[in-house]
Chain A
Amino acid sequence: MGHRKSIGLQILLLAATALGQSPSAADNSTAASAAAIAGSKENPAAVNRGAKLFAANCGGCHGANAKGGPGAPDLVRSVLVLDDEKGILIAPVLREGRPDQGMPKPNLTEPQIADIVAWLHVQTYAAGHRASYTFLDVVTGDAKKGQTYFNGAGKCSTCHSATGDLAGIGKKYEPFALQSRWLQPRSPRGATPSDSPRSAIKVTVTLPSGESVSGTLDHIDDFNVSLQDSAGEYHSFARDGLTPKVEVQDPLKAHRDLLAHYTDSDIHNVTAYLVTLK
């Protein structure tokens, strides 16, 4: 827990230093990700300049992240900002200020105004598009405990070896991808040709005659099962209840079954351990 806190603090400190320097720095709470800049279709150079200009000219009241401060509204949730296109609504406010509402007239050139507008657009885009969110640090666990779990309660070592199939895994994937991948090695849409043949689902179909065919599962539903045998030949069978007998073997079943047993600490510990397998 303490460890996690200190990591969080480091991120905040990093964010504070990155602020006003590079909006593409890996901190999404004060600056937008590269994905958000790309998605918003704003000019990255303008966004970069706009970040500095906003922090220097507007951040004092609206906060460096534009989320507002005492007496100054959150601009990411501002209807005026959200409704804006190409600065038509924002630029007049940046030219004249809003003296009646306590906002002084900023001293900005037209190109500077355009840069701030670009940066604000990226902020609203970044908040509203979760696919652009940046995942934060997942390496918060205890690698030693992870190793113990790997070789003990988790029974990972039944199929895997730190010096065999998983050697160098910590080098191959960045930590977030690694955590996602070891929890669920199969791609989200099920077995695909790009998946390891090791994870292919096998099936054995036994007909009433006693004849049986085995191979890689192609499709199964309540009315049909189809497979490809070791010679690459396709077989398809109609299903009617329990006939023919169908036995499915998923080599990743252990991964699925473990989902009901992991604690979150187990998961973080195993990730911390796998990260060390450089």
Chain B
Amino acid sequence: MNIRLFFLSASLTALAGAAFGQGLTPSTLLKQPTDNWPTYNGDYSGRRFSPLTQINSSNVHTLSLAWATRFAPAAGSAGATVPIKSTPLMVNGILYFTSPNNVWAADARTGRELWHYEYPPNTGSTIGNRGVGMYGNWLFFESPDSHLVSLDARTGKQRWKVQIADPKLDYTSTVAPVVIGNHILVGIGGDHLDNPGFLESRDPETGAVQWKWWTTPRKGEPGIETWPDEYASAHGTGQTWIPGTYDPQQNLYIVGTGNPNPVMAEKSRKGDNLYTCSIVAINADTGKLVWYFQPSPHDTHDWDAVQTPIQFDGVIDGKPRKLIAQASRNGYFFVLDRTTGKNILTKPFIETLNWAKGIDAQGRPIPDPAKYPTTDGVLVSPSSNGATNWPAPSFDPDTGLFYVGTSRPYAMYYLTDTDEHPEGWGGRDTGVGGDPGALLAIDYKTGNIVWRHEWPSGNGVTHILTTAGKLLFTANGTNLIAFDPANGKILWHAGLMAAMSAGPITYLLDGKQYLLVAAGDGLYSFTVNQPPK
């Protein structure tokens, strides 16, 4: 160990209270993991691409079950029937995962439960929980009633909890905290009562606020000109309910923000409504906004732009570029320069889009006012469920393709609150049809769809994992399916007891590669039985 490394680990040890024996050193997160899956997206880039090749296109037909285990919350408890929507972490042979009000640890070798933490009964929304963040031996979990809870990963015992927002104001928390150095990045959700969104950094030892960034500007701040007044902006929402990605070289945390409020009644919030429905780059140490891009200016259809903005390096017009791409809920695929936020490419990825008049000079779709919700209804595609949603997309550097699960729903959007000062949602949409949707492989250089797989049934908005073993894993209905990421050919499938409910992950354990999938209240571990000699 060189001196610099020694000091680094010594200072981190001091920060974590001398508790790194079995834990996760934050600097581990800077590497591409193979024997761990240490953060929501596996690594900071958000690619959900693993360099592992032991399970590969030539042996995937032998992929078989190592174990399956159910992890049921207490019967009758709030959210007891909500599936495991968390991408599990796997650190040092232990899996950590959640459902609303519940955190579990299990032995990754056997699926045996090690501990089960139950959060006390509360009235927060139990729509879902995306998982934990880890720092040393500490886990971080957001509760339905918007507390940040720290647990000891070895025992599942609560260290402390701190409130991050008032649940009575309809805040609710579902996001997996992201650990960057000694920052615990905390997001928030809830868009029913017009309360402002924010992103916070918390201290891993005490839970104290290190910085807080409001997603909508206050008086005198840049962006306030995109609202009629400060009052509208302060009630403009823009929640942060899906983990972002991190560029260590620029020290930028890049995250998508949710829809503006009132959601479907736009009368009292004329303007672009920054920084809602935006991709924002925030300095991880200071919480200052460095750049932004807005996929949905003045959204009136609940199209959060929270979908994982994936970072990768690529080549545009023959020049190497640092890029970030998002397939957004509004149906457009965006590629940006991640050093400036400047738009490189905007292209629709579903054919049914009918709400924009074109693309402006900055690469943003121009919303058609004729498609704002009305009392008698307007027909719009996609529905509020979106062309895609929070399920994890993936980028495979070997194919250069961006993969996303999509759907093409139509809905009638109705305005229900005609007041000069509408509140809450102010309207509703009702689905009127569509089709199951497709798995898409998009060329980031052109936005063209290189291949697609149309699903015969089910919901096409699903999670994806790609690997250097020339494999793409996703699911349709209760089928877990492996594709060839180059051409969309199906290579393997297995039926599960429920639909896949979280992003699949992969890792090496004892030199053997595993695929781990959450579906309903169960985890399934797969491996190839004859690893190569």
Partners in one complex: yes
Are A188 and B418 in contact, with the CB atoms below 8 A?
no
Q: Is B239 an interface position by the 8 A CB rule?
A: no
Q: Is B531 an interface position by the 8 A CB rule?
A: no
Which stretch in A98-106, A153-161, A215-223 binds the other chain? A215-223
Are A136 and B414 in contact, with the CB atoms below 8 A?
yes
Give A4-43 as 1s and 0s: 1 = Cβ < 8 Å from B's Cβ atoms: 1001100110000000000000001110000000000000
The distance in angstroms between the C-alpha atoms of A82 and B195, with both chains bound, is 11
Q: A67-B419, A77-B193, A221-B479 are in contact. Are A188 and B379 (CB under 8 A)?
A: no
Q: Is B425 an interface position by the 8 A CB rule?
A: yes
> Which residues does chain A contribute within 8 Å of B379, judged by CB atoms?
183, 259, 262, 264, 267
In the complex formed, the residue of A with least CB distance to B423 is A127
Q: A127-B193, A133-B427, A183-B433 are in contact. Are A77 and B235 (CB under 8 A)?
A: yes
Q: Is B28 an interface position by the 8 A CB rule?
A: no
Select which of A129, A184, A219 is within 8 A of B457 by beta carbon.
A219
Which residues in chain B, 54-93, are within 8 Å of chain A measured between CB atoms?
none
Q: Is B398 an interface position by the 8 A CB rule?
A: no
Q: A127-B193, A133-B417, A222-B479 are in contact. Are A79 and B432 (CB under 8 A)?
A: no
The distance in angstroms between the C-alpha atoms of A4 and B418, with both chains bound, is 13
> Which residues does chain B contribute within 8 Å of A139, judged by CB atoms?
376
How near does chain B come to A147, taking the closest CB pair, in angstroms?
Answer: 18
> Which residues does chain B contribute within 8 Å of A133, judged by CB atoms?
416-417, 425, 427-428
The distance in angstroms between the C-alpha atoms of A255 and B415, with both chains bound, is 24
Interface size grouping (class) on chain A: 35 or more
How many chain B residues have a CB neighbour from A under 8 Å? 48
The distance in angstroms between the C-alpha atoms of A134 and B421, with both chains bound, is 17
In the complex formed, the residue of B with least CB distance to A179 is B377
The distance in angstroms between the C-alpha atoms of A184 and B383, with both chains bound, is 14
The distance in angstroms between the C-alpha atoms of A219 and B455, with both chains bound, is 13
Are B431 and A76 in contact, with the CB atoms below 8 A?
no
Are B433 and A140 in contact, with the CB atoms below 8 A?
no
Are A136 and B415 in contact, with the CB atoms below 8 A?
yes
The distance in angstroms between the C-alpha atoms of A122 and B303, with both chains bound, is 28
Are A128 and B193 in contact, with the CB atoms below 8 A?
yes
Which stretch in B30-38, B166-174, B386-394 binds the other chain? B166-174
> Which residues does chain A contribute within 8 Å of B375, judged by CB atoms?
4, 7-8, 11, 136-138, 140
Are A136 and B418 in contact, with the CB atoms below 8 A?
yes
> Which residues does chain A contribute within 8 Å of B477, judged by CB atoms?
221
The distance in angstroms between the C-alpha atoms of A138 and B416, with both chains bound, is 11
Q: Is B161 an interface position by the 8 A CB rule?
A: no
How near does chain A come to B301, taking the closest CB pair, in angstroms?
Answer: 14
Are A29 and B417 in contact, with the CB atoms below 8 A?
yes
Sample 18 A-B pairs with CB under 8 A, ordered by A number: A4-B376, A67-B419, A67-B423, A77-B423, A127-B192, A127-B193, A137-B376, A138-B414, A139-B376, A141-B376, A179-B412, A184-B432, A220-B456, A221-B456, A221-B458, A221-B477, A259-B381, A264-B377
Known: A11-B375, A135-B428, A188-B431. 11 other contacts (CB 8 A): A4-B376, A29-B419, A65-B419, A74-B421, A130-B416, A130-B424, A140-B376, A183-B432, A221-B457, A221-B477, A222-B479
Which residues of B are interface residues toward A (Cβ below 8 A)? 166, 168-170, 192-194, 235, 352, 370, 374-379, 381, 410, 412, 414-419, 421-425, 427-428, 430-435, 455-458, 476-477, 479, 481, 490, 493
